[in-house]
Amino acid sequence: MHIHILGICGTFMAGVAILAKENGYKVTGSDAATYPPMSTQLEALGIECYAGYSATNLKSQPDCVIIGNALSRGNSEVEAVLDQGLPYMSGPQWLAEHILAKRWVLAVAGTHGKTTTSSLLAWILEEAGLSPGFLIGGVPENFGVSARLGEEPFFVVEADEYDTAFFDKRSKFVHYRPRTLVLNNLEFDHADIFPDLAAIQRQFHHLVRTVPSNGLIIHKNQEVAINEVLEQGCWTPRETIGESECDWYAKSLSEDYSHFEIWHKNKPLCGIKWDLIGQYNVHNALAAISSAHHAGVPIAVACEALETFQSVKRRLELRDVVNGIRVYDDFAHHPTAIAATIEALRQRVGKQRIIAVLEPRSNTMRMGIHKDDLMSVLKGADVVALFQPENLGWSLSEKAQSLENARVFDQVGALIEYLVSLARRDDHILIMSNGGFENIHSRLIDIL
């Protein structure tokens, strides 16, 4: 069977392509833009990808076209699918029907931390000898791929609240029907499709309604937005994670949270030393351990697995060290995530300089929803360099006036020149974007 995927280089759709290929399907796809790590994964698997959208990409008459949520009516290839009467469906629907139907699904939802928590959970299950399947919106370093079929019964999925497709406006995660569900946190995001937080909470409650009574919901303690969701109705046992007064919590044994102790039901269980930093990552670890525990993994096995976890590409990823200058790549694009990333790095590096480089690229950022919060969360950096994309609907320069240490650029080349002239030994250049950012990381490293 031949499936053709529109938007194949997106993090989710690339994962669908990998699973279909492993399942024996012939897979092709189209996309407007490609960049690592997803494009390199597809190339390594020999999946043919067409650059740009065109009716000619469908000349082989695929048995089914899977349409990504970035595609809308008016797209030339979407119109050709409809005009030719080709069978089509969304990626989440295909995943649910062809992969998840007979699996124990462990889903990780929330505004932040989904990718890391999903990766942690998959690695714990792997180290427990369970060989899970997974589809994650990033590339866990321990696996080197963002998706795989694995062995039954367990399948870990990063459960995104973004809408499913132009013909299905429900959140993607409504399709997955998990037995184990993590609700990491919940804030307003995706302003291009949700008018307010209440609209997102409604989708989260639809998800909660799909979890069976013999399942488990794991959620952050004292998270107001999540509690409001659960108060709408919950038919599933729950466990909480957080700072204290909850089922699972941690006590940090180091300033940067690279060494901590896991507690369950007010009893200390094990100490963990790992390569990750930041309190937010400890919360991700708690969610992963409790999820794995629900699946039958002994806590001691889970703790050992965390110590060999190698993080995820583009999550505070150290790309290189040149002449004592460290260059990081991070996916942070929401004020809360930006603040947490800078804080974690500060706890690690102390008084050494942090140079924060940000491209406000997400749909919500482009709409200016977070523009009033953005500068305050960047104050933890010593120097701030901001890139103004052409399609940003507001002026970074106006907002940046509140930061004495900030400069704004509209050309990546000029931004790189500035960073090269500024950087010195023991500096930490933290580059944050949820896109390719014109390959700034490699270009900067080459010049340094």
Burial status of residue 213 (CB atoms within 10 A of its CB: 0-12, 13-18, 19 or more): exposed
Average pLDDT (176-200) is 91
For residue 35, the model assigns a pLDDT of 63
Side chain identity at 12, as an amino acid letter? F
- Same domain for 186 and 137? yes
- Same domain for 342 and 268? no
Q: Which domain holds residue 116?
A: 102-306
Q: Find all residues with CB under 8 Å of 354, minimum gap 6, and list them.
A: 342, 345, 346, 380, 381, 382, 383, 427, 428, 430
For residue 198, the model assigns a pLDDT of 96
Question: CA-CA distance, 383 to 362, in Å (whole number)?
Answer: 22
Residue 64 or residue 336, greater confidence: 64
Q: Considering its fold, how many domains does the chain have in total?
A: 3
- 147, 10 contact by CB (below 8 A): no
Percent of the chain residues past pLDDT 70, beyond the cut: 99
DSSP-derived 3-state class of residue 395: coil
Beta partners for residue 183, in sequence order:
109, 219
Closest to 287 (Cα-Cα) out of 109, 148, 132, 135: 109
Flag the least confident range among 10-19, 74-83, 289-298, 434-443.
434-443
- 309, 116 contact by CB (below 8 A): no
User: For every residue of 224-246, which 3-state class applies, written as one string?
Assistant: HHHHHHHHCCCCCCEEEEECCCC
- Chain segment 39-55, per-residue pLDDT in tens: 777 888 889 899 899 99
- Same domain for 278 and 421? no
Side chain identity at 237, as an amino acid letter? P
- Identify the H or E element spanning 408: strand 406-409
* Predicted structure pTM score: 0.89
- Same domain for 22 and 123? no
Question: CA-CA distance, 199 to 138, in Å (whole number)?
Answer: 26
In a domain, 80, yes or no: yes
DSSP string, 26-61: EEEEEES---TTHHHHHHHTT-EEEES--GGGGTT-
DSSP-derived 3-state class of residue 201: helix
In a domain, 442, yes or no: yes
For residue 333, the model assigns a pLDDT of 76
- Same domain for 173 and 301? yes
- Same domain for 158 and 296? yes
Of the pLDDT bands very low, low, confident and very high (cuts 50, 70, 90), residue 371 is confident
In a domain, 95, yes or no: no
What CATH number does the domain containing 67 carry? 3.40.50.720
- Chain segment 415-430, per-residue pLDDT in tens: 999 999 999 999 999 9
Q: What integer best gives the mean pLDDT of the chain?
A: 92
Centroid of chain to Cα 359: 17
Beta partners for residue 314, in sequence order:
none
Question: CA-CA distance, 48 to 51, in Å (whole number)?
Answer: 10
Of the pLDDT bands very low, low, confident and very high (cuts 50, 70, 90), residue 94 is very high
Average pLDDT (279-291) is 94
In a domain, 96, yes or no: no
Question: CA-CA distance, 436 to 387, in Å (whole number)?
Answer: 13
